[in-house]
Structures are given as C-alpha cells and as structure tokens.
C-alpha cells in the first residue's frame, strides 16, 4: 500500500526542512529508501513526477534543502559538506533510516557524492543525472544571447515538457524564488568551485561503493547551450564578442563534460554509463521524460536489493 506525505521536519537545531515521502513501506531494514536531490537553483517539485513513477515500486523521498522555497535558511555556509550533513539529519529526524539510494541531478549529484564520502556505509547505490564532478562554468555572456526570451523557451523545455501545465507553472514560480539575486542559488554557486575540487580529490581512486550499483546518466548540457547560441546568432542578440565567447566554449564542452562524468564510474565495480538521446538529451531531463529517469533509478534499485 502506497502512502504519501509532505511536511516540514524539525531538525535537532530547531530548523525545519521540507520533505515529501511516498511509496510502499520498506519490506526489510535493508531495503533502500530512494532519495531524489535537485540541482542548484531548482526545486524539489521538479522531481515530483519522477517520484510518482518510483513510488509504484519503492519508498522514495524528495527533500528541499536549506534556504530553498519551503525550507528554513541554512545556519552554516551551504557547502556540499554542510548540505550533506543537513540531508542526513533531515532523513533521520523524519524516521527515514539508511540505507539510501541517492539520485543526484547536477549539483544534487555533488551532494550525493558528498554523502558517499562522509558515510559510505549508508549508501546502497547511486544515480548521477548529468552531474559533473568539477563544475564546467559556462561564460556569463550566454544570457545576453537569449534576448527577451527565457532559457526554458529557447532550449525547448516548455515545448517538450513531460509534466502537467499546472505543475510546470508551480515549478517556475518556486525556481524563480530560489534563483532571485542574492538568494540561495547565488550563495551556493559562490561556494561550488573550491567545494567540488576538494571533494573530487578526496574521492579520486576510491571505489567507495564497492560492488554497489551506480548509473551515470549523461544528458550533454551543451545541447541546451548550443540552442541558446544559435538562437542569439539568428536573432542578433548579444555582441559579436559575446557570441564568439560562447561558441568557443561549446567547441569543447560536450567532450569535456562526458569525460568528467565518466570518471565517476570508478566509484563502483558495478556501474554503467548511459547517454541520453533525442529530446532526452537536455540537462533537465527530469522535466522532459520523468518516466525514463525513473527507469534508470529502478535499474539501480533492483540491483541494490539483490545485494547480500
């Protein structure tokens, strides 16, 4: 029997963080709970459709981290280490005990890998969705190539969305709050480079998962930025210099991102690399084809429950 609950959970330090849980009860203490971790500037709601698909076969949670819409502000700088500590405190306060199967999208993948570093025994498996271990910062000039349009329109997210219109509008509103100037996304972004590099150094060469399953899903974010570049050139948005800066970055982005994501396969002796194709080849694949993302989670889940 499936259950669903959305609530604000009180942490030991008195703060409250939002958590939505659903799915069937665990069949045993060793059955992993699936945890969906959104990216920088996103929101938990982006993952609700993926959660609905997963809830048909497994217990699943979607947390909203500190400072994001629906959760209290962080008391410490939101580094990956502090975010991971918050996550583990939230799950325990909510009565969701390990083991966890962590699904991290973009920067959420960094948080998932941080949990793996801090508490490898609590992690039953990983799904890393278009998450590079070291950030590949795109030139800031790219926003000028949008003109008066939005990123979602130009890259085709709105047209290709696999979520309902009402849900899409709520996602857009919550993400706008999170991405507001001076907000939590901007704060996290300012801490990413040193945090990622340190984490990458500490995990390099360590098969932290052992034989526990891992799936790395490469969605090739360069496809999205290439659409922005072509849109800007076609409509004359941005200066010639700004267009050239974006073009040069795109020449190597896909190859570098894929190579970086493949390095994460070394975390497990039971790993697979999956390259998204067609309309799924977009950074926000969870909004385009949530059922397909849930299928990749199930691949890892099925193998994790088979582990002795």
Domain at 84, CATH number: 3.40.50.1820
| Confidence (pLDDT) at 280 | 96
Confidence class of residue 136 from pLDDT cuts 50, 70 and 90?
A: low
The model's pLDDT over 57-113, given as tens digits with 9 standing for 90+, comes to: 999 999 999 999 999 999 999 999 999 999 999 999 999 999 999 999 999 999 999
* Tokens describing residue 56: 């048909």
Q: At what angle do helices 80-93 and 107-118 cross, to 10 degrees?
A: 70
Please count the structural domains in the chain.
1
Which of these, 26, 23, 25, 3, lies nearest to 304 by C-alpha position? 26
Asked whether residue 96 is assigned to any structural domain, the reply reads yes
Asked whether residue 92 is assigned to any structural domain, the reply reads yes
Q: Residue 177 belongs to what domain range?
A: 3-137+164-221+257-305
Give the integer Cα–Cα distance in Å for 7 and 297. Answer: 24
Mean pLDDT of 106-122: 95
Strands 100-105 and 33-37: parallel
What's the mean pLDDT when you consider all of the chain?
A: 92
| 234 phi, psi to nearest 5 deg | -60, -40
Quote the longest CA-to-CA distance of the chain: 60
212 close to 123: Cβ distance less than 8 angstroms: yes
Asked whether residue 297 is assigned to any structural domain, the reply reads yes
Asked whether residue 152 is assigned to any structural domain, the reply reads no
Asked whether residue 248 is assigned to any structural domain, the reply reads no
| Confidence (pLDDT) at 2 | 61
Asked whether residue 102 is assigned to any structural domain, the reply reads yes
Asked whether residue 126 is assigned to any structural domain, the reply reads yes
Asked whether residue 156 is assigned to any structural domain, the reply reads no
Could you tell me the pTM of the whole model? 0.95
| Confidence (pLDDT) at 299 | 97
Which of these, 66, 57, 17, lies nearest to 34 by C-alpha position? 57
> What is the end-to-end Cα distance of the chain in Å, rounded?
26
């Amino acid at each position: 029997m499936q259950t669903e609950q959305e609530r604000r959970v009180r942490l030991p330090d008195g703060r409250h963080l939002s958590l939505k849980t659903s799915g069937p009860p665990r069949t045993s203490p060793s059955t992993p709970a699936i945890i969906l971790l959104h990216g920088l500037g996103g929101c938990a709601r982006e993952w609700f459709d993926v959660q609905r698909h997963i809830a048909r076969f497994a217990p699943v949670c979607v947390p909203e981290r500190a400072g994001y819409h629906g959760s209290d502000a962080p008391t410490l700088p939101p580094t990956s280490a502090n975010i991971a500590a918050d996550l583990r405190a939230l799950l325990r306060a909510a009565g969701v005990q390990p083991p966890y199967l962590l699904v991290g999208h973009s920067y959420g993948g960094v948080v998932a890998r941080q949990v793996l570093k801090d508490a490898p025994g609590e992690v039953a498996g990983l799904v890393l969705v278009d998450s590079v271990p070291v950030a590949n910062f795109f030139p800031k000039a790219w926003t000028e190539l949008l003109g008066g349009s939005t990123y979602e329109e130009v890259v085709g997210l709105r047209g290709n969305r696999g979520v309902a219109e009402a849900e899409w509008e709520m996602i857009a509103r919550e993400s706008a709050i999170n991405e507001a100037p001076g907000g939590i996304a901007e704060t996290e972004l300012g801490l990413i480079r040193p945090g990622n590099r340190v984490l990458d150094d500490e995990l390099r060469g360590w098969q932290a998962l052992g034989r526990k399953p891992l799936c790395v899903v490469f969605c090739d974010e360069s496809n999205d930025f290439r659409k922005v570049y072509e849109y800007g050139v076609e409509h004359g948005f941005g200066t010639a210099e700004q267009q050239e800066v974006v073009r040069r970055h795109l020449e190597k982005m896909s190859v570098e991102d894929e190579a970086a994501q493949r390095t994460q396969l070394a975390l497990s002796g039971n790993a697979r690399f999956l390259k998204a194709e067609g309309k799924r080849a977009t950074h926000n694949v969870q909004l385009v084809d949530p059922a397909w993302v849930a299928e990749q989670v199930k691949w890892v889940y099925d193998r994790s429950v088979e582990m002795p």
